[in-house]
Amino acid sequence: MLLLQALEITTLFLCEFSVATLLYVTNYSENIVTLELTNTKLKVKATTPGCGDESQYLTPDFANNRLFCLDENPRKGTIVSFEVKDNGTLSRQASVETIAGPVASTLYEDGKGLAVAHFIGAGFTTFDVDTSGGTSITPIDTEVYTMAVEGPNDLRQEHPHPHDAILDPDGQFVLVPDLGTDLIQRYLVTNDGSRGLLRLAPIVVPAGSGPRHGVFVKTDDAPTYFYLLSEMGNSITGYLVSYPGYSSIELTQVYYTTIHETGGWMPNGKDVLGGEIGLSPDGNFLLVTTRTGIIFPDKMNISFTIPNLNPQNKTLMDSDPIVNFRIDHETGNLTKIQEFPAGGMVPRHFSYNNDGTMVAVVLSRDQRVMIIDRDVNTGMLTRFRAWVHVDKEPSFVLWKQSKLHHVSNERIFLISLIVLALASIPVYFYRGKLARLPDLFKQTSYKPLRQDQRDENGPDESEISEGVETAQP
């Protein structure tokens, strides 16, 4: 009886580590879609309306229990703040209209300022955001960029197209890659209470490359780097970051590669575009997605075929890749370590969970969000964990991490042994066999947790690990 109670205690303890994790997704509708992940089950939990007409991007401020949503309306954009309640539900707070097509934003000055890049509106805006309740978003400045002549790519570079807003690790500068002008705009955070930003001279990148997104990499005992993902060049450029006089930020190129240059799949056409770049939580790895068929859907370059997610359908599915790089913090060089299927077509965005054990990917063309397991020690992506259909065109995914994070199967195993052993001590005392306590460990068998091979929201693990095929160009 006591042993049965010990097993019940262990089961309850492990259930605590199966607590659901929430994710927020935009999908070019008026809604923010809330997903719930429990082990290998991913489902739509709620939809929260109120983010304009075309929800596209989310900027979290979980320290102040709020979330900013950008409405990428091509005529007049909207920025909306939502309160994030303890249970993860969202409540609309404030909104403000802005110039067309906001696509990315970042908070600065400890969450008191918001900087926004506008792709369609060809501009850059800043706002004072009230942190004492989140009830106001006040415009500060609107800057519309101009260009004297069109860029080399007349389809994509007819106007300035700011595509991202990135705060540097020290919170002193904001960088804005402009796909249309092949520039990186630089801004100094004035920190004078006005929430203003001072524009500096831009940094020029190769003509026609189309800078899209970027990430900073900073560690305690190595230089700081900035890695730029260029959409049309389908390339990564690494820069050494310096701060001359503390009033400027300088980028010195130390590395360059096209994403598919060495090893793995080689595209056989030009319609392969960089999608997203993201730094692992430990700062040692970069993931990059590329997308095919964006400009010419009938001329897609397929890099992977994967088993169908419907176990009843034996037709293979197409997938774009996620490319995995290890960072050399001394030189800034990148080493490609893996190309892994994203789980479908057009991986527009992805994000890591807090401990880096999982990556969530939005697959715009396939209307899907995929969860991929990741080995934090090697940085390698390992298997598809779960997926779910999301209507419209999912464009952005953000983790709302619970207090009890996901733990690996191995950790669960060790924890279960400890709890079971401690809970069983009274049994051995009662029978006068405390010396036999080690037998408990000898008698306990463990098999790694496997997801249901016929679960509609979970893949057949053996198929994924052994059945992924690389398409030949």
Q: Which domains does the chain have, with CATH numbers?
A: 2-411+449-470 (2.130.10.10)
Tokens of 229: 């993902």
- Is 0.95 surpassed by the pTM of this model? no
Q: Can you give the pLDDT of all 473 residues of the chain as single tens digits?
A: 544 454 444 444 444 445 789 999 999 999 999 999 999 999 999 999 999 999 999 999 999 999 999 999 999 999 999 999 999 999 999 999 999 999 999 999 999 999 999 999 999 999 999 877 667 999 999 999 999 999 998 889 999 999 999 999 999 999 999 999 999 999 999 988 889 999 999 999 999 999 999 999 999 999 999 999 999 999 999 999 999 988 999 999 999 999 987 555 556 555 789 999 999 999 999 999 999 877 666 666 677 999 999 999 999 999 999 999 999 999 999 999 999 999 999 999 999 999 999 999 999 999 999 999 999 999 999 999 999 999 999 999 999 965 433 444 444 455 556 645 655 555 444 454 444 434 433 433 333 333 443 344 544 444 343 334 333 33
Please state, in angstroms and rounded to a whole number, the distance separating the CA atoms of residues 260 and 243.
Answer: 32
Closest CA to 102 of 58, 146, 134: 58
CB 289, CB 363: distance < 8 Å = no
Query: Residue 244: is it exposed, middle or buried by C-beta count within 10 angstroms (0-12/13-18/19+)?
Result: exposed
Q: Which two tokens stand for residue 327?
A: 């960072």
Residues 6 or more apart whose Cβ sits within 8 Å of residue 359: 287, 322, 350, 351, 352, 353, 371, 372, 374, 381
